[in-house]
Amino acid sequence: MSTVSVLNLNKIFNKGKTNQVDALVDVSLTIEKGEFVSLIGPSGCGKSTLLRLIANLLEPTSGDIVVAGKSAKQARLDQDYGMAFQQAGLFDWRTVTKNIELPLELKGWD
């Protein structure tokens, strides 16, 4: 079983409008456990959109996404993976250590 499986994925922004953007068209991808994968391409080619779809931060227009044998939504809810964003989501009033500890605090861990 693959760790991430994307099959015939499509993402259209502003569907049916004059400013429609076909961000991803018929994308299929399989990532096996232990593989290191890089998404390389020019700005605006869909790299971040694909990652956001896999992380269930966006809904696909069509296609299937399976993460760790589950739907992308269930894998997110079960916290089966983590994601680091390009723009740091840090609180400037917290120290580096306190920012790192924040997710643990939110889960109630000491």
Q: pLDDT per residue over 63-100, tens digit each?
A: 999 999 999 999 989 888 877 776 667 888 889 898 88
Q: Which of 62, 69, 55, 72 is nearest to 23 (CA)?
A: 62
Between the two ends of the chain, the Cα-to-Cα distance in Å is: 35
64 beta partners:
7
Alpha helices, DSSP H, located in the chain: 47-54, 72-77, 96-106
Domain extents in the chain = 4-84
* Cβ pair 93, 106 in contact under 8 A: no
Q: pLDDT per residue over 16-55, tens digit each?
A: 999 999 999 999 999 999 999 999 999 999 999 999 999 9
pLDDT of residue 47: 94
pLDDT of residue 1: 64
Q: Which CATH architecture has domain 4-84?
A: 3-Layer(aba) Sandwich (3.40)
Q: Which two tokens stand for residue 90?
A: 């840090």
| pTM assigned to the model | 0.77
